[in-house]
A and B are shown apart, each in its own frame.
Chain A
Amino acid sequence: MILTHKKRLPQILMLVGILFMTLFTNGIQVDAENSAGNDPKVLVVYSSQSGEVNDNVRMLDLLTGHFTMNITFINTSEIEENDLKNVTHLFYFGQMKEQLPNSFTSILDSFNGTVVALGHNVAQLGKRFSFVIPQGEAIFSKVLLMGKGEKVESIIPHTVLNVNTTKETEELIKVTHGSENVYPLFVKNKQNYYYASSDIKPPLSIYLGEVLHEVFDEEHENVHPGYIRLEDIHPMVNVEKLMAVAEELKKRDIPYLVAVIPVYTNPKTHEEYHMSDFPHVIKALKYMQDNGGNIVMHGYTHQFRKSETGEGYEFWDVENNMPIYHGPNEKVIKKTKQDFDTAADYEMYKKEQKEFEKKYVEEKLTKGIQELTNYGIYPLAFEAPHYTMSQNGYAVTSNHFSTYVGQVQVSDEDWEIMTTAPYITMPSFLKGMTLLPETMGYVQPNDSKVIKRMINDAKQYSIVRDGMVAAFFHPSHPDLDINDFIKLLDRMEKIPGIEWIDLKKMDHTVTADNVKIETDNGKRIDNIDNLGLYMSSFDYFLYHFKETVKGLTWWMVGVGALAVVLFTIYTFVTRKRLRRGRFG
């Protein structure tokens, strides 16, 4: 307690510092805006069934987020001249066939930045896109990336919106189906680009992601950031196996991620086990933290209802396939707009649901961050259990974490609509969080070909110049052992251009009440108000108290043993002295 008072001084100094800084922020902000002004400003005009941003549009968000933080989405029906102010790159995403408003065509005509059109309705886009003439749909099964090396990759058959192009049009990606059938997939004419498909998901996202570098005129170095993430590390984990993996990584000097779940729930008894009851797990995690491991918080309990930790979904009600808008034991009644008298009532209902979810997520994240921090385990990023989380969930998470790890759920309707980005990106739907995408999957036990498949995926993502190669592994899985891990590592290390990500060397901020963890030049800076933590939950104090008590008992053993040795020596000295005739 006394210590925390001492720690308060720097906090007060910091507060004063912040006060001073706010006096000058006006100037600083202008600067920030200026530099943001150099960033491309992207406007995505989309058409979709519902009229709202959907999963495909979010995929585009993921792809463009690699180049800029400045992305706006507008439905075709709502576009106005004003929306193009300062826009450098305009994307039109024709997910479906529709009649575009004339105003949009004329806006396009008068725009003098870069335009990328994707999918349908290209014929309605006016003069700019007169270099493409739609021909109808065709099937393709190979992709040919033009330029450097002209890589050909086979993929499962997809549909292309075949177009004829004018002479001066450059073809950046070609697709084929057999030697006869060659179609352009991505073409360029001056500042205008056309992507001849409404499908931009993996694996096509890889090719689109690569050529977007040309669209944004960004060179980007040819290195492949990669990570290996140790998954589902909860209090009941097999520490021996975990340590074996940690030692192997240390030996190879590979930084890595550890996805930690602070609480384990027994599926049968529903009893909760916290890390505090498993000091050897905390010890192992601290060891990893000090030896190349970076902690990623993987939910708080990794379950919502009474399922087992590591199995359950924490931030998604998977039984009802909907966000957490209710308590685990509440009966779920799904209501639609028709169930409400007025639109306002419906909006109110939705707002309440989101509030509920916000509170739920907030509580879990706060507890998780505080609890881990209290043990001296400092999370730097977040990963939702099973990658499932609603858009609202991401927004709430962004208040606590600046980095998100894994894949992303891009729909609020269905958790299975999940995708990944080919590279590190900051899509607008993550509200400022940076995504470190996982692209290779994980080692499935009893599958002899799994590592080969994973490496294959890595090769695919290596097509992108700075494509991500990232995988995860369950160190504690009963059917996996260190040898499986070594096999994976051996193969991953051979991926050309792989550069292991060390989270500490990137910028992160993690915040919860009384806790702020930041990184600065490869160092972690932990700002923890211990007193505040202890006030917020007695358990936090109790943990430290218990640790102190345990430490004290070993001191007692040490001092006691020393006394035993001393007294034994005294006894012999006394005997020797007395034998010489000097009795006590």
Chain B
Amino acid sequence: MADVFMYISLFLIWFMLFYHIFLMQGGYLHSLQHRKSEKEWQQNKTSFPSVSILIPAHNEEVVIGNTLESMVNLSYPLDKLEVIVINDNSSDKTGDIADSYARRYPFIKVIHNWPPFSGKGKSGALNKGLSESTGEVICVYDADNTPESDAIYWLTIGLSNDPKAGAIVGKFRVNNAMKNLLTRLINIETLTFQWLAQAGRWFWFKMATIPGTNFAIRRSILEELGGWDEKALSEDTELSFRVYNLGYHIRFFPSAVTWEQEPETLRVWWRQRTRWARGNLYVIGKFFMQFHKLKNKKVGLDLFYFLFTYLLFFGGVMISHTIFILNLFFDLNLSIGLVSYALLIIGFLLFVTEVLLSLSMEKDQFNRKNFFTVLLMYLTYSQLWLFLVVNATFLEIKRILFKQEVKWYKTKRYKQEELEKDRTA
């Protein structure tokens, strides 16, 4: 019996690992390719579309100044640019800071959102911002983001040159990566996610997930879709699915770079990730039920991926862990033998090489410290995810059973004193 479970878990886990191998391969190929498109597009001399940048902000006084500062520094024709800060019921100085920028720079607008129209989370704020915006292209930045000056240029050039792209997704980097072990781990995770999952999926399937920040989307599409889904906790994933469904692809274009803050304490991290996980579970639920209605069945690929991640892979890992622990105390008469050790070692090495390959694509990340962090990551950070999924699943089930309303947890921000230093580190 233990044998049966053992093999079930093995195949579930390795199905996922093979998919990751496949994606990583695609990610690597995309890293070779995207520079070529960059060059090509620059020569195409397309006109600049008008752009509206939406920045939803709820109690962001610590970071909003920096964010707007980087908006001011964007290299984009000012007559085509509009920055809209949606101050969503902030109780701190967010509104004041934003207003002061608006006074100084005519292309910055502030929308103050007070009850009863506020508190509908990021989706609500974005929808509000959308309604007030005028740009042909809508870009979104989180309030803690400091995009590099050419970010908008790259995002829009992507849309202009790729008519099939509904949205262009840039790359985000972590500006507090060196703060502590947690941020270093998150930094490694985000880079791997972007090169493996985003670049990989883009390369093979012409899909990428909108990450909630540093992306550009055609206004026409947002209008057709009726904006963001206010019930979705991970509005970005949800939006991605609907964009695919219209038949567009979402391009991952790493030339457009933004820098953002990551949680510095486990508590904040936990809350943020729980929201993501719940959000993804919501998306699974929403699209799984209406899968037959979807026009673009390619969505199924991502849907299946999520389903696999949150149910099957997760289940496989849980079974595998349980067997591992039980086997320490009881003889389970496992017949698998040598191959299980081989798989364990290869599994670990795959993790390490995939992460290191992703890190190697960034100029400042492939170093000894990160190397050891990666080794540590497998046994610590990666395992935390298990508890997170359990918690998120539990909360989602509770929500559905008791018909609770979703509450948006806003990620806590930190004052970034050493920002500049970090960037160049």
**Chain A interface residues (CB < 8 Å from chain B):** 277, 549-550, 552-554, 556-557, 559-561, 563-564, 566-568, 570-571, 574-575, 578, 582-584
CB distance from A276 to the nearest CB of B (A): 10
Q: A549-B7, A584-B254 are in contact. Are A557 and B339 (CB under 8 A)?
A: yes
How many residue-residue contacts, CB under 8 A, span A and B? 79
B10 an interface residue at 8 Å Cβ cutoff? Answer: yes
B343 with A556: CB separation less than 8 A: yes
B408 an interface residue at 8 Å Cβ cutoff? Answer: no
The residue on B at minimum CB distance from A549 is B7
A567 with B353: CB separation less than 8 A: yes
| A17 to B53 CA separation, bound complex (whole angstroms) | 81
B207 an interface residue at 8 Å Cβ cutoff? Answer: no
Q: Can you name 8 A-B residue pairings with CB atoms under 8 Å?
A: A553-B10, A554-B342, A557-B339, A557-B342, A560-B343, A567-B354, A571-B357, A574-B31
| A583 to B255 CA separation, bound complex (whole angstroms) | 10
| A554 to B254 CA separation, bound complex (whole angstroms) | 37
A574 with B349: CB separation less than 8 A: no
The residue on A at minimum CB distance from B346 is A560
B366 with A575: CB separation less than 8 A: yes
Per-position 1/0 for B342-362, Cβ under 8 A of A: 110011011001101100111
| A57 to B347 CA separation, bound complex (whole angstroms) | 71
A574 with B357: CB separation less than 8 A: yes
Per-position 1/0 for B1-19, Cβ under 8 A of A: 0000001001100100110
A564 with B343: CB separation less than 8 A: no
* 4 pairs of A and B residues whose beta carbons are closest in the complex: A584-B361, A567-B353, A560-B346, A563-B21
A574 with B361: CB separation less than 8 A: yes
| A549 to B343 CA separation, bound complex (whole angstroms) | 14
A557 with B343: CB separation less than 8 A: yes
| A211 to B357 CA separation, bound complex (whole angstroms) | 86
Enumerate chain A residues within 8 angstroms of B195, measured Cβ to Cβ: 584
A568 with B353: CB separation less than 8 A: yes
CB distance from A375 to the nearest CB of B (A): 16
CB distance from B291 to the nearest CB of A (A): 29
| A575 to B363 CA separation, bound complex (whole angstroms) | 8
CB distance from B355 to the nearest CB of A (A): 9
B295 an interface residue at 8 Å Cβ cutoff? Answer: no
Enumerate chain B residues within 8 angstroms of A554, measured Cβ to Cβ: 339, 342
A570 with B357: CB separation less than 8 A: yes
A567 with B24: CB separation less than 8 A: yes
A574 with B360: CB separation less than 8 A: yes
B356 with A571: CB separation less than 8 A: yes
Among A552, A568, A570, the one with the most B-chain Cβ atoms within 10 Å of its Cβ is: A570
B336 an interface residue at 8 Å Cβ cutoff? Answer: yes
| A559 to B21 CA separation, bound complex (whole angstroms) | 10
Enumerate chain A residues within 8 angstroms of B339, measured Cβ to Cβ: 550, 553-554, 557
B346 with A571: CB separation less than 8 A: no
Enumerate chain B residues within 8 angstroms of A556, measured Cβ to Cβ: 10, 14, 18, 343, 346
B360 with A571: CB separation less than 8 A: yes
| A551 to B255 CA separation, bound complex (whole angstroms) | 44
15 additional A-B residue pairs with CB within 8 Å, beyond A560-B347, A563-B21, A563-B350: A277-B335, A549-B7, A556-B14, A556-B18, A560-B21, A566-B25, A567-B354, A567-B356, A571-B356, A574-B28, A575-B366, A578-B363, A582-B35, A583-B362, A584-B195
A583 with B343: CB separation less than 8 A: no
A564 with B366: CB separation less than 8 A: no
Enumerate chain A residues within 8 angstroms of B354, measured Cβ to Cβ: 567
Enumerate chain B residues within 8 angstroms of A560, measured Cβ to Cβ: 14, 17, 21, 343, 346-347, 349-350
Enumerate chain B residues within 8 angstroms of A578, measured Cβ to Cβ: 360-361, 363
| A96 to B393 CA separation, bound complex (whole angstroms) | 92
CB distance from B328 to the nearest CB of A (A): 22
Enumerate chain A residues within 8 angstroms of B24, measured Cβ to Cβ: 563, 567
Enumerate chain B residues within 8 angstroms of A277, measured Cβ to Cβ: 335
The residue on B at minimum CB distance from A556 is B14
CB distance from A580 to the nearest CB of B (A): 12
Enumerate chain A residues within 8 angstroms of B18, measured Cβ to Cβ: 556, 559
Among A549, A552, A556, the one with the most B-chain Cβ atoms within 10 Å of its Cβ is: A556
Enumerate chain A residues within 8 angstroms of B14, measured Cβ to Cβ: 556, 560
CB distance from A479 to the nearest CB of B (A): 31
Q: A550-B339, A582-B35 are in contact. Are A564 and B363 (CB under 8 A)?
A: no
Per-position 1/0 for B307-345, Cβ under 8 A of A: 000000000000000000000000000011001101100
| A553 to B11 CA separation, bound complex (whole angstroms) | 8
| A554 to B366 CA separation, bound complex (whole angstroms) | 32
Enumerate chain A residues within 8 angstroms of B357, measured Cβ to Cβ: 567, 570-571, 574
Considering the complex, which residues of chain B in the window 18-54 have a beta carbon less than 8 Å from any beta carbon of chain A? 18, 21, 24-25, 28, 31, 35
The residue on B at minimum CB distance from A572 is B360
B360 with A561: CB separation less than 8 A: no
| A277 to B24 CA separation, bound complex (whole angstroms) | 39
Enumerate chain A residues within 8 angstroms of B349, measured Cβ to Cβ: 560-561, 564
CB distance from B316 to the nearest CB of A (A): 13
The residue on B at minimum CB distance from A566 is B25
Q: A560-B347, A564-B350, A567-B353 are in contact. Are A553 and B360 (CB under 8 A)?
A: no
B342 with A564: CB separation less than 8 A: no
| A566 to B354 CA separation, bound complex (whole angstroms) | 10
